[in-house]
Structure formats: structure tokens, C-alpha cells
Structure 1
Amino acid sequence: MHKLKYILLFLCCAFFSVKAGTKHPLHVSTTEVNFNAKDKTLEVSCRIFSDDFEAILARLYKQKTDLSNPNMKSAMDVLVKKYLLAHLQLKANGKAVAMNYIGFEIDHEATNIYLEVEKVPTLKSVEVNDSILYDMFDDQMSIVHIVKGNNRKSTKILYPEKKFTANF
């Protein structure tokens, strides 16, 4: 277990320390699902390298993409929402749940995307089906964190695998 924590720490450091303009050697995204017991929601955030994300959006949807251009924000929201809802699905307590797209923001070289699942009164299990950027890279890695209170479960999913289930 400690070995996995060190690997995840290394990958996160590598992911978040890429200098602007430098091609990154890793194809990795992170997804965190946080159970908010007070609001009875699942708060979902994804972090994806912006250059890779823009490239797949342009390729799939055949239009110009620029996630950092404020004048294109509403058009980019449409594409980001469409892509994320097609490549990330959740089940809570064994049942598929609908995610509401909240929005995205650029943070240095990464794009952070936010979604939410409402009306989750209790949480016994979460299944994540994550194929973000799988249609771009065959060495894609997804780091997934599921958090319920002080209990955090993390894993890495390597292409072509897509699923991770955490039980509480």
C-alpha cells in the first residue's frame, strides 16, 4: 500500500510540475469524487493537461478549440460537458447517477472540470468508469481518488482498463 502511495505522489508531482511549453512525458488525468454528506452530493473534479484536452476536443468535434480564450468560453463549455459526460460515468450504491456539469477553469497547464451528483443520501460504494483521453493515447493513465469523510481510496487505472470501485 505504501508503494502505491509513493507512485501516486510521484505521478501527481510530475503531473502538476510540468513547465509551460514543455511536452509532458506522461499521459495522465486525475479524477476525484468527494461525498459531501451535509449536502448529500458527490462533488466530482477532473484535472487534464490542457494541450491534450484541446487536441482531443478539436479532433472529435471538428472545430477550433481554445480553453483559455474567454471569448470562446460558452462554446468550450458545450464541448467540455459533452466530452466529460461521454467519458466519465459514476455509479453510487450500484446505481448509475446523472452528473450535472458545473464548469471548467484553466490552472497553469491543466484544465480543471467540475461536476456534481445530487440526491445521494448515503454512500456505500462508488464505481468510476473513466476513459478520459483513451481515444487519444494508448498509454493513458487515470488516477482516481474517492473521498468519504476521512476515508480516501485511490488507484491508478491504466489503459485499456476503465473501472474502479470503492466500498465504504
Structure 2
Amino acid sequence: MINILIVLFSFLHPFYVSVTDIRHNAKNKSIEISSKIFFDDLEREIELENKVSFDIIKPVDKAKVDLLIANYIKKHLQLKVDGKLMAMNYIGYEIQEDAAWCYLEIPKINKVGKIEIDNNILFKLHQEQINMLNVTVNDHRQSTKLDAPTSKASFKF
């Protein structure tokens, strides 16, 4: 009986994972960032952090939701390129199945030697949060996994 409960619990226990892809686009001289985050968790975390209520799927005020998401992502995902903290431009988000894809860009990046990332997205909401990172520069991809509370990683190219 106990074994059945353990197996049942393991199936019922949700998992908490985000995936962030960071790609240097040499042709456009920019860094393109996309983060896939479970939209219900993103919505809840932003609501808690800002003491607001909104619907990420059917927003009443899309511009307000975009601003909330932009501010949250910029606060919880920071990039340094070759030692310099970069400002990211928020492009927007879209919902696909159970996830929000959030898109950002860093313009005017001719080349990349080192990228340092601080990603603590959803760490306040879930102690079990895992944030996957995929970084591609010059068609060379490197990946890592950040288990809360560890939020920092660096990649050399």
C-alpha cells in the first residue's frame, strides 16, 4: 500500500522547469532571447510580486500585461556579455499550450567571448524550480541546468 502511495504521489507531483534559449545572431549583430515558462506560474509570480491581478491568456489590457512581464523578466534574467551588464529589449510573449514564450533582444552585439547569466525566474514561487539554459554563439551550443537557489552560470566561446 505504501509503495502504491509513493508511486501515485510521484505522478501527481508537478515539476517546475523553465527553458531559456540565448542565441547570438551574428548577421543581425544581436542576442536573441526566448524563455519558455509555465504561464500559470509566471502569472502567479508576477501577481504576488506586484500585488496585482491579471489574465495572461485573455488580458483586458495587453499593454499592461506586457509591461508586467517585461519588468519581471528583466529583473529575474540578467545577462553580462564580456563583463558588461546588458539592457534587454522586451519584444513580447505568446501562449503555446501550457507555456508563455517571452521574447527579448539585445542589439548591437558584434561578437561574444563570454556570457554570464543570472536567472532566478520563479525561484520565489518554487523551491524546486529548475531553469535550463541553452546558449549558442557561432553555431556552438552550450547548456546547463540551474537548480534553485543556484541562479548563475557563465559560458565562454
Q: What TM-score comes out, normalization by structure 1 length?
A: 0.83
- For 1:120 and 1:157, the matched residues in 2 are separated by 25
Question: How far apart in 1 are the matches of 2:71 and 2:13?
Answer: 25
Contact 2:59 2:65 in 1 (8 A): no
Uncovered stretches (5+) of structure 1, i.e. residues with no partner: 1-22
Aligned twin of 2:25: 36
The reply to whether residue 59 of structure 1 matches residue 59 of structure 2 is no
| 2:80 partner SS | strand
The residue type paired with residue 146 of structure 2 is: I
1:123 pairs with 2:97: no
8 Å Cα contact 1:125/1:167 also seen in 2: yes
TM-score, length-scaled by structure 2: 0.89
Q: Which amino acid aligns with 2:96?
A: D
Matched to 2:42, the amino acid is F
SS at match of 2:60: helix
| 1:110 Cα deviation from its structure 2 partner | 0.2
Cα distance per residue 1:42-92 (max 9 Å; x no partner) = 001101001111111111111112111143311110110110011000001
Deviates more, 1:67-76 or 1:146-155: 67-76
Shift of residue 24 of structure 1? 6.8
> 2:57 is paired with a residue of what secondary structure?
coil
Larger Rg: 2
* Counterpart in the other structure of 1:91: 80
8 Å Cα contact 1:57-1:65 kept in structure 2: no
**1:113 CA drift (Å):** 0.3
| Aligned sequence identity (%) | 37
- Aligned counterpart, 2:66: 77
**RMSD (Å) for aligned C-alpha atoms:** 1.2
Conserved in 2, the CA contact under 8 Å of 1:77 and 1:104? Answer: yes
- Look up the match of 2:124: 135
The Cα shift of 1:37 comes to 0.3
- 1:25 CA drift (Å): 1.3
Residue equivalent to 2:8: none
Give the aligned partner of residue 151 of structure 1: 140
Flag as ranges the 4+ runs of structure 1 deviating above 6 A: none
Unaligned runs of at least 5 residues, structure 2: 1-11
* 1:66/1:72 contact within 8 Å kept: no
Tell me the matched-pair count: 146
CA distance in 1, matches of 2:13, 2:38: 9
Distance in 2 between the 1:91 and 1:118 partners?
13
